[in-house]
Each structure stands twice: as C-alpha cells, then as structure tokens.
Chain A
Amino acid sequence: MIAIEQVSKSYNGKTKAVDGLSLTIPNGEIFGFLGPNGAGKTTTIKMITGITRPDEGSITINGLNIEEDPLGAKKQFGYVPDSPDLFLRLKGLEYLNFMADLYEVPKALRQERIRTLAERFDLGQALADPIQSYSHGMRQKIMIMGVLIHDPAVWILDEPLTGLDPKSSYTLKEMMREHADSGKTVFFSTHVLEVAEKLCDRVAIINKGALLFSGSFKEMQEHFRSSDSLERLFLELTNHD
C-alpha cells in the first residue's frame, strides 16, 4: 500500500508541480495514474520513490516513511523508470546481479528468478550481451527484470508498456494482474487510456498538480452520469479548468 498525504512540491519556489495531493493506493489492485503532460505525474512518482523530496506532506510505502526510513521503504518497491537507457555498458546479467546485490537477494533465489524472468520475457539469449546492444523493448524488459528480482510487494511502473512488443506487453499485463491478485500493489502511469480502462481496478487523474478524480472506472461513469469511454471522460475532466 502507498499512502500519500497532503504532499506538495514546487520548483524554483514558484511553480507548483504538485499541490496538496492525497492519494491512497490500496493492496490487491492495479492502480492507474493518469494526467496530461506536465500534470505532476512524474514529480509524484519521483517523490514516492525517494528521487526528490516533497516540500510538505508525507509518503509511506507499506507503512514505511520514505523520508524517515528511506532504505526500508525502498526495499518495499520495485520501480521501472520511463527511460530504459540505463547501465548501457553493463551486460544484462551483470546489471541483474548488481540489482540483486543491492536488494540483498540470496544467490539461489536470484538465479531462480533470473531464469524464470528471462524465460517469461524471452531474454535468455541476450543476458550475456551488453545492454547497449539491446533494442528499446529489450532494454525495457531488462529494466523490469532488474526491479522484479527482489520480488517487491509494491510495483511502481512509469509508462511500462512503451516499446514492448505485443507478447511482452501481454506478459507484463498478465504479471501485473497476478501480482495484484496475490494481494500486492501495482501502481503505474500511462497515457494509453484504452489500456488503463481495461487493466486498472482504479484510476487517479491529476492535472496541474491536483487530484481531479480517484476511483474505479464505474464510479467515474456514475459520478458523471455518463456512459462515455475513459478517454472522453478524461478529456472532459482535464479540459474543464
């Protein structure tokens, strides 16, 4: 579970990227995080993952405060950033082992997980090659493998489906579903509203740093007394202010 309480963040002391945001992402659900460009999605994710510090408010992940117990909180989640162009000079296997070292995964377990994840993402043939030689989708996959190697309870994924081929995209969505169904948390941001509509149990829409709506798609339709698609509702919501 992720609990965001009254969180604000401004840049240069002026522009408010996130303004008094409160949001609870419960266990056992896939939670979609939506909003137009510059709405504050990335800033929010950066604050949850400890990359930037909020000016006000608090964030806890499974009860651990990211500011007070950063190491403990960080071990609760696995975070897939939106750009997979990282660690390019390392080989796939070296990167996975580096991640396993930092997350203190025992040897037998890390081997087991590398094997199963490589199989699921069809990356077994590429592990001995430098990540630089990977395509965009392969890089995305190896990044996902790296953050799942410690089997985190909370998944935080920033635009995870970009660049994935249909099969890997399907696999990842399947894995997200399994993970949520096992009572754990999946939190992901996306611009693809069709995916969000189909995949998410609940969505939050933010714009200009403030929460516009949080709830299930059904609740949203009831709230607006409309049978429109998520796309139409989203456009209406984010245009109206």
Chain B
Amino acid sequence: MIKTLVLARVLLKNGTGRSKKGRRGSKLPLHLLLPVVLVVAFLPLMLTISRFLGMMYDSLAPHGQQGIIVGLAVGLVSLMVFLFGLIYVINVFFFSQDVEHLLPLPLTPREILSAKFLVTLLYEYLTAFLVLGPVLITYGVKSGGGPLYYIYSLLVFLLLPVIPLVVASVLAMIIMRFTNMAKHKDRYRTIGGTLAVVFALGANLFFQRGARNGVDPEQLQEMLIAGDNSMVRLVTGMFPSSRMAADALTRTSSLGGLASLLLFAGVTVLLYLLFLALGRKLYFRSVMGLSESSAKRAAVTSEQLARETAPRTAFASYLLKELRILFRTPPYFLNCVLMSVLWPVIISIPLLAQGGALPFGSLSDMLLESGAGGLVLAGGVGLFLFVSGGNYTAPTALSREGAGLYVNKFLPIRPRVLLLAKLATGWLLTMVTVVLLLVVGLFVLHVPPLLLLLLLVLGAAASLFSCLTGILIDLHLPKLNWDTEQKAVKQNLNGLYNMLLCILLAVLLFFAVLKLDIGMWGSFGVLLVIMLAADYALYRVLVTKGEEWFRNIEQ
C-alpha cells in the first residue's frame, strides 16, 4: 500500500514533467496548481451548464421527473470517464516512458497497476468535476437537499469514476495484449488527442446552443420521458451501476437511498478487485516489448529510390523536414498543426450555436455603407494577430530542436536559410488559419468579397508579423532542455509572450484606425503600410542579427 502511494506520487510529479531546476521561485508545485488553473479556466463552461440545468429542473419539477437530471448526469459522466479513460489509460499505463524503468524494479504488478490507476483516477476526477460539480450543486440547491445529500454527493463523486475506468482499463489491456496498436504509438496519440479536442468542442457547442435557445419544457419532456425514457436508459444502461448512484442521490432521506449507496460502493470495490486480478494476468505481458515500434523492414525498390531522392534546394528541403516533424510528432501536431485549424472552428462555434438567423450579413453591409469598413478591417487584423500569435509553430521553432539543435550548426546550411525555412513553416500554418477564418467570414457572416480580399492581404501581413516576432522571441529564449516533446511546446512560455505582443499590436492598430477615422480605403492603406513596414524591419533583424543570435546559442 505504501509502495503504491509512493509510486503514485512519483508518477504524478513526473507527469507534469517539471525538472527540479525549474522549481526555484514557485513554492506551489505545478501538479497541484494545474488542476486549480484548469477548473478556473472551465468556470464559464460550468456556469453555462449550471444555467442549462436550472432551466431543465424547473421544467421537469412540475411532473416530478427532476430526478432524471441526476440520472442523466451520472450516466453521462460514466460514459465520459470511460471514453477519456481509454485515452488516459493507454497513455498512463502503456505509452508513458516510465514503464520501462518500472519493470526491472522489485514491484508487483498489483502495486504498479494500483499506482497508475490512482494517477488516472485523479485526472478523471478533474474531468468528472466539470460536469458533476454543477449538476450536484444545482440539484442540491433546487431540491433543498440537506447535509446528508451533500455527503452522499461527495461519496458518489468519488466512487463514480472507478467503474467506468476499470472497464476502460480492462478493455485497454485486452487491446494492447492482443493487437499491435502498441507499435503505432504516434498514430494513436495523434488520433486520440484530436478526438478528445473534437469531443470537447462538440460538448461546448451542445451546451452553448442549449443554454442560448432556452429550453422548451414540452419539447424536453418529449425528448426525455415520452420516448420511453430511452435517453436516460441509454446512458445509464451502459453502466448499470450508475443507476444505483443516481437512486442514492435522489432518495437521500429514505433507507432505500442508503441501501443503493452501499450496494454501489460494494459493486465498485468488487469490480476494482476483479480488475487487479485480471491486471496481474494481462498487464505485464502487454507492457513487455512495448518500446518496439512499427517497421515494415521491406527493401526499397528502385522506383521508390528514384522518387524519394529528388534533389531540392536547402531551403525547400529544410522546410519539408520541419513539416514532416510537425505532422508526425503527436505533441507538435496537436499544439501547432491542429490548433491552426481549430481556431476558426472555436471562433465559429458561438456563431453556429445561434442558428442561422444572423444579423451579420446585413450588419457588415451596414458597416460598409456607414463608413465603418475601416473598423472592420482593423478588427479583422486584430483577430488575425490574435489567432496567429497564438499559434505555437514559430515561437517554438528553435525550442523544438531541443538537445539536437547543434546538428544545425555543423550542417552546411546558412543560419539565415534555416531561420527563413522555419519562418516559412510557421507562416504556412498561420495562413491556413487566416484563410479558414475568411471562409467562415464568407459563408457564416456573409462578409462582402471585396472586404474579404482586403482582409486576406492584411491577414498575410499580420500572420507574417506574428511568425517573425515568434521566431525572434524563440531565438532569444530557446527552451532546449527538455526530455519529452510535450515540454517543448506545451510548457514553453514563448508562445504566450508572442501572443501578448501580437495582442498589444492589435489593440494599438485598432485605436489608431478608430482615432484617424479615414474610411475603409484609408484604413486599409494605413494598416498595410504599418504591417509591411514592421514585417520588413523584423525581417531585416532576423537575417542580420538573427544569424548572430543563432550562432550564440550554446548548449
């Protein structure tokens, strides 16, 4: 037991990936701080959910059906824990790099499994809290629950994620034991990460839409009750045990509620023991030999050789290398590539959530007629600066090289060519964002084509600016001392610095245009001249001073 807890603590600390060196200054360890930050960040979403639930409660209470909310939430959370669990478990149990170091240590499978399970469970509490927190509190307040209700709530909250996580773990162990998914680690992590992000966005859209449209009680009733309770049955049906949890919560005052709670706790413990027993049989066998990765080991044909040895210039070859590594390294893909596509999606969610009836089409026409086109352009430039400033590709361009940066110094490539290839990589990805945003502008907001064209020109200049500042920041503060790629991007403050710098410029430009008040074309001219001048100045700095700074980076 003690060994398990010690191990869990070590695993948890390792997970945040902070080295001792970086700990100076901050007394609060990151692994404690992170959940707090996350909860704060998700507070708006939780409030939205809470509001949505309040409306639901009010429309269901007259029919005495308000318990459905708890049933639904408990079922949903179980499902969520299970889905996220699959991703977490595979990462924590199988793909984390500590596995190979743990195997030779004198630890029983039971201890390793329990410690890893505990770590995963802690992550799951965080996820579960986002949904279950608002539900339990809203329900408690609305139904006037006493202290007993809150004690029950806490117990249910603590026990609920265990069973779905056990199911996910067993499933993951079976998958890893009998398939060769382990050998396609990178692909799995990329797909898993992408799905998680898409799922989160989908949930966001669902709740925003629900909360905004207001709930029609009749319609909701129809959906939940008239359909033979099908929805509730569907979600709770997947994890029958969650019905006991819901029952315990809705009948806290009766003895039946207590019985349900005890039964639920008993089933949970029993299933956990079963998991440990199964794990002993499955886990070690599926973990061993995991470090091998996929390889076909087939001879290269002459055609293949001819095709893949096409000569390129140093610039093109370097650019291609950068893109390949960005797309193939899961943390880089998720943080740099995927984000460039996601920004437009994130921004259009609130718009789509409002449904089709948007006043924006006429709004932008109005703006044009009333001579506020300049402000639309300035606003657009601000948005472009914000989203491309938030892209991590350029501000981590050198950091991503890590301990291998020195390779760039002995290869026969001029530093300026290398820096420009890295700049181009960042620009390419931020331009994807700009173009997608313009597509959203065209189809969702019905922005006039002329305005879009002007925005495209300004967007190109703005995103180039963000990449230039990003790469210059990274040249000064490259974060090269990392052991997992995750840290090169996720825990790199250069992205944040760059975003702040870009936001600052966006605000300045907006107020300049507002003050000048010189119409659309005048504003376009001013914005373009300022951006191009800034781009040119920064470019000159990059190819002159930048070379020198690059040479001075010593490891």
Binding site for B on A (CB under 8 A): 46, 49-53, 71, 74-75, 79, 81, 83, 85-87, 89-90, 93-94, 96-107, 110-111, 114-115, 118, 124-130, 132-134
Contact = CB atoms under 8 A, between A and B. Distances in A.
Contact of B295 (A46, A52, A106, A129): A129
Contacts, number: 109
B476 interface: no
A101 B421 CA distance: 14
A71 B314 CA distance: 12
A102 B413 contact: yes
Nearest to A110: B309
Nearest to B406: A51
B285 interface: no
Interface of B: 186, 292-300, 304-306, 308-314, 316-318, 320-321, 324-325, 328-329, 403-404, 406-407, 409-414, 551, 554
A96 B410 CA distance: 16
Contacts of A99: 411
A89 B305 contact: no
B294, B296, B321, B414: residue with the most chain A Cβ atoms closer than 10 Å: B321
A93 B412 contact: no
A96 to B, nearest CB: 8
A133 B295 contact: yes
B310 A103 contact: no
Contacts of A103: 412
Nearest to B185: A132
A134 B291 CA distance: 11
A81 B411 CA distance: 12
Contacts of B321: 87, 90, 94, 98
**What 6 A-B pairs are tightest by C-beta distance, nearest first?**
A101-B317, A133-B295, A74-B412, A129-B295, A49-B410, A89-B328
Contacts of A132: 293
Contacts of A134: 295
B546 to A, nearest CB: 16
Given A50-B409, A101-B311, A89 B297 contact: no
A98 B425 CA distance: 16
Contacts of B314: 101-102, 104
A87 B328 CA distance: 11
A93 B306 CA distance: 11
A89 B306 CA distance: 21
Given A103-B412, A111-B309, A128-B296, 4 more contacts: A89-B329, A98-B318, A107-B309, A124-B299
A167 B409 CA distance: 31
Contacts of B311: 100-101, 104-107, 110
Given A50-B410, A71-B412, A101-B311, A130 B305 contact: no
Contacts of A89: 186, 324-325, 328-329
Nearest to A133: B295
A120 to B, nearest CB: 15
Contacts of A90: 321, 324-325
A10 B315 CA distance: 34
A93 B410 contact: no
A51 B309 contact: no
A81 B312 contact: no
A52 B321 CA distance: 24
Contact of B294 (A83, A86, A133): A133
A38 B295 CA distance: 38
B248 to A, nearest CB: 49
Contacts of A130: 293, 295, 328
A94 B410 contact: no
A89 to B, nearest CB: 4
23 contacts: A49-B410, A53-B551, A81-B406, A83-B403, A89-B186, A90-B324, A94-B324, A96-B309, A97-B310, A101-B311, A101-B313, A102-B413, A110-B309, A111-B305, A114-B309, A125-B297, A125-B299, A128-B296, A128-B304, A129-B294, A129-B295, A129-B297, A133-B294
A102 B296 CA distance: 28
A74 B411 contact: yes
A105 to B, nearest CB: 8
Contact of A102 (B306, B308, B317): B317
Contacts of A50: 409-410
A39 to B, nearest CB: 19
Nearest to A90: B324
Nearest to A128: B300
A51 B306 contact: no
B468 to A, nearest CB: 24
B465 to A, nearest CB: 29
B293 A114 contact: no
Contacts of A93: 300, 304-305, 308-309
Contact of B308 (A53, A85, A87, A97): A97
B488 to A, nearest CB: 13
A115 B312 CA distance: 20
B109 to A, nearest CB: 28
Of B294, B295, B413, most buried by chain A (CB within 10 Å of CB) is: B295
Nearest to B310: A107
A231 to B, nearest CB: 31
B305 A74 contact: no
Nearest to B329: A89
B298 A46 contact: no
B407 A71 contact: no
Contacts of A85: 404
